[in-house]
């Protein structure tokens, strides 16, 4: 689609070319007899020159024919001073004046002279109409677009011959005056009259529909243009843009995707538009693949910003392994605390807690939110602890249980949550985590104590049974060797009392 300024330049050039190639025609007379033989109307007493005025006008005509227009204008001014002059003489002299001013590129005086000719009353209706067209054309060529357009439109609306060049010039003049609504009906007429239709006819309607906010009609004309010039990427871009602006983003995406897959998109901005579309439609992995591929090919510049975007897309797609080296590269290049925090999060999601901690601590040193960082460190430590084997209560002491991998990692997680500043927004969450971890540790102790108590009570029963059976077995015999660990405790509680009795 042409820009407004370039489009206006194109219109101005074409109008001036039209004006300079004969659109401004002025009928001049060589003598009174030539005028009397005019086919426009029957001779009348008022349409002839006196001998005095005719002699001066003939001298001016001779100068005009030899391109001495400045000298001719002097003679014509002399002729205008003759008294009396009839209306026909004045009309003709003013016409000749206008023609010389035009040849000297003095459009303002030329327009005034032609208007004087029309107002003199010495022209036949069709002669006056022709001159009105000339004045309108001169106004347009002189940059007075609205005035010229209005006069030309009046002429055409009042029965003037609607020549294609008039319709075209009128359309262009209204466009030049930024009056697109006035230009549109004439542009349609110009379009309909054109045979064969050229690209400029389509471009003008496309331009007007776009500026008048008529997307439906613009879409129709762009469709026709795409059918004629399918290789023109600007038309496809315009089509996709209209779809998007019309709330049909999915269709716009399909058009853009088709252009990309067909190899029609090459600029970085176009390629990034494809990436953004895939990301917008929840396809971060495909977006990341395209961005990575185009960065590797050099069609998208590899900058820190683009690396961050690529890593974000991989993280959104849960492709943390692919995001990690990209984040490492971006973070080391920029020393940005957010990048180190993102790296820590990616490492955390891959279960690499040690590396994640290092990244988070680096982020804290660079000014990242300590509360958020320590929360993630604590969470990673806790999840790592949960992956360890649950400790067995059987045959272990409290000290041994406290040194199991699960317990050690759980305690390190507790320490991380304790590092969260109380003033941090994560302060409340860290307290909940600490309470939870302590309760979990206590639950383990309670479970072990319950298991041990149950086992002890069962052994006490077996020990008592063994003592009671001594009279029959010929001595103390404890069949469950596992209960021997509780024998001393049983005796200290129950056998001493028996001995005292």
Map 12-76 to HEC letters: HHHHHHHHHHHHCCCCCCCCHHHHHCCCCCCCCCCCCCCHHHHHHHHHHHHHHHCCCHHHHHHHH
- Asked whether residue 248 carries a pLDDT value surpassing 90, the answer given is no
Which residues, 6+ apart, have CB-to-CB distance to 470 below 8 Å?
Answer: 476
| Weakest mean pLDDT among 8-17, 103-112, 164-173, 332-341 | 8-17
Provide the residue count of the chain.
501
DSSP state of 492: I
Q: Distance between CA atoms of 260 and 409, rounded to whole angstroms?
A: 51
| 137-171 pLDDT, tens digit each | 999 988 999 999 999 999 999 888 888 899 999 99
Under the banding of pLDDT at 50, 70 and 90, the label for residue 492 is confident
Instruction: Verify cis geometry, omega within 30 degrees of 0, for the bond prior to 500.
Output: no
Q: Where does residue 420 fall: left (phi above 0), alpha (psi -120 to 50 degrees), or beta otherwise? A: beta
Per the structure block, which two tokens stand in for 281?
Answer: 């439609």
Backbone angles phi, psi at 438, to 5 degrees: -65, -40
DSSP state of 389: P
Per the structure block, which two tokens stand in for 81?
Answer: 């001073």
**Quick one: pLDDT at residue 417?**
86
> Contact at 8 Å (CB) between 444 and 391?
yes
> Contact at 8 Å (CB) between 316 and 290?
no
Radius of gyration, alpha carbons of the chain: 49
Per the structure block, which two tokens stand in for 284?
Answer: 């971060």
Per the structure block, which two tokens stand in for 351?
Answer: 């279960």
Which residues, 6+ apart, have CB-to-CB distance to 451 below 8 Å?
Answer: 393, 394
- Asked whether residue 453 carries a pLDDT value surpassing 90, the answer given is no
Q: Which of 157, 158, 109 is nearest to 135 (CA)?
A: 109
The helix or strand, by DSSP H or E, that contains position 330, with its residue range, turns out to be helix 320-334
- Asked whether residue 218 carries a pLDDT value surpassing 60, the answer given is yes
Helices (H) and strands (E) in the chain, counts: 27, 0
Which residue's structure tokens are 């994640």? 356
- Asked whether residue 302 carries a pLDDT value surpassing 50, the answer given is yes
Select the more confidently predicted residue: 164 or 253.
164
- Asked whether residue 176 carries a pLDDT value surpassing 50, the answer given is yes
> Contact at 8 Å (CB) between 57 and 96?
yes
| Weakest mean pLDDT among 41-55, 107-121, 302-316 | 41-55
Under the banding of pLDDT at 50, 70 and 90, the label for residue 466 is confident
> Contact at 8 Å (CB) between 265 and 271?
yes
- Asked whether residue 273 carries a pLDDT value surpassing 90, the answer given is no
Alpha-helical (H) ranges within 104-144 are 107-119, 125-141
Per the structure block, which two tokens stand in for 409?
Answer: 């990692």
Per the structure block, which two tokens stand in for 99?
Answer: 């023609």
Domains of the chain: residue spans and CATH: 1-174 (1.25.40.10), 398-500 (no CATH)
Q: Distance from first CA to last CA of the chain, Å, rounded?
A: 114
Task: Map residue 298 onto helix, strand or coil.
Answer: coil
> Contact at 8 Å (CB) between 353 and 328?
no
Highest mean pLDDT among 188-197, 263-272, 366-375, 455-464: 188-197
Q: Distance between CA atoms of 377 and 9, rounded to whole angstroms?
A: 64
**Quick one: pLDDT at residue 15?**
32
> Contact at 8 Å (CB) between 69 and 63?
yes
**Quick one: pLDDT at residue 336?**
80
| 70-91 pLDDT, tens digit each | 999 999 999 999 989 999 999 9
Report percent pLDDT > 70 for the chain.
87
Under the banding of pLDDT at 50, 70 and 90, the label for residue 392 is low
**Quick one: pLDDT at residue 406?**
80
| Weakest mean pLDDT among 134-138, 272-276, 289-293, 386-390 | 386-390
**Quick one: pLDDT at residue 339?**
82
Residue 425's Cβ-side half-sphere holds a number of Cα atoms within 13 Å equal to: 3
Report percent pLDDT > 90 for the chain.
25
> Positive or negative, the Cα torsion across 408, 413, 418, 421?
positive
Q: Distance between CA atoms of 335 and 306, rounded to whole angstroms?
A: 16
Instruction: Verify cis geometry, omega within 30 degrees of 0, for the bond prior to 402.
Output: no
448-464: average pLDDT: 79
| 8-58 pLDDT, tens digit each | 333 333 333 333 233 333 333 333 333 333 434 433 446 788 888 889 999
* Mean pLDDT, the chain, whole residue set: 81
Q: Which of 135, 136, 175 is nearest to 11 (CA)?
A: 175
**Quick one: pLDDT at residue 41?**
42
Select the more confidently predicted residue: 235 or 91.
91
């Amino acid at each position: 689609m042409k820009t407004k300024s370039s489009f206006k330049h194109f219109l101005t050039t074409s109008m001036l070319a039209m004006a300079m190639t004969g659109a401004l025609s002025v009928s001049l007379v060589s003598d009174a007899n030539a005028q009397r033989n005019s086919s426009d109307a029957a001779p009348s007493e008022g349409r002839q020159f006196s001998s005095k005025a005719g002699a001066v006008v003939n001298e001016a005509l001779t100068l005009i024919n030899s391109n001495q227009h400045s000298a001719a204008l002097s003679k014509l001014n002399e002729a205008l001073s003759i008294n009396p002059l009839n209306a026909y003489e004045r009309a003709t002299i003013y016409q000749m004046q206008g023609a010389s001013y035009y040849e000297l590129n003095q459009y303002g005086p030329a327009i005034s002279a032609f208007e004087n000719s029309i107002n003199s009353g010495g022209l036949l209706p069709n002669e006056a109409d022709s001159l009105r067209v000339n004045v309108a054309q001169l106004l347009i060529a002189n940059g007075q677009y609205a005035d010229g357009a209005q006069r030309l439109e009046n002429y055409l609306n009042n029965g003037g011959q609607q020549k294609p060049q008039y319709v075209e010039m009128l359309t262009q003049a209204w466009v030049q005056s930024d009056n697109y609504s006035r230009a549109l009906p004439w542009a349609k007429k110009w379009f309909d009259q054109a045979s064969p239709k050229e690209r400029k006819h389509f471009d003008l309607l496309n331009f007007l529909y776009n500026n008048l906010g008529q997307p439906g009609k613009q879409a129709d004309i762009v469709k026709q243009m795409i059918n004629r010039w399918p290789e023109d990427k600007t038309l496809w871009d315009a089509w996709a843009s209209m779809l998007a602006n019309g709330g049909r983003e999915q269709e716009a995406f399909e058009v853009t995707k088709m252009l990309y897959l067909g190899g029609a998109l090459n600029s970085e901005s176009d390629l990034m538009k494809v990436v953004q579309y895939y990301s917008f439609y929840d396809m971060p992995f495909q977006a990341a693949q395209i961005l990575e591929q185009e960065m590797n090919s050099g069609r998208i510049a590899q900058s820190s910003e683009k690396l961050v975007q690529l890593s974000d897309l991989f993280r959104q797609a849960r492709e943390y392994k692919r995001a990690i080296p990209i984040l490492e590269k971006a973070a080391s290049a920029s020393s940005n605390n957010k990048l180190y925090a993102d790296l820590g999060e990616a490492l955390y999601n891959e279960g690499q807690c040690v590396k994640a901690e290092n990244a988070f601590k680096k982020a804290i040193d660079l000014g990242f939110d300590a509360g958020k960082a320590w929360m993630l460190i604590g969470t990673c430590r806790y999840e790592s602890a949960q992956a360890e084997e649950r400790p067995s209560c059987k045959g272990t002491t409290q000290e041994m249980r406290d040194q199991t991998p699960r317990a050690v990692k759980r305690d390190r997680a507790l320490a991380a949550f304790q590092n969260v500043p109380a003033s941090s927004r994560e302060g409340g969450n860290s307290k909940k985590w600490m309470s939870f971890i302590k309760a979990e540790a206590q639950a383990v102790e309670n479970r072990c104590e319950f298991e041990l108590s149950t086992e002890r009570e069962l052994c006490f029963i077996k020990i008592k049974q063994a003592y009671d059976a001594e009279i029959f077995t010929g001595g103390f015999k404890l069949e469950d060797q596992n209960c021997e660990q509780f024998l001393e405790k049983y005796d200290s509680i129950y056998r001493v009392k028996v001995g005292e009795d």
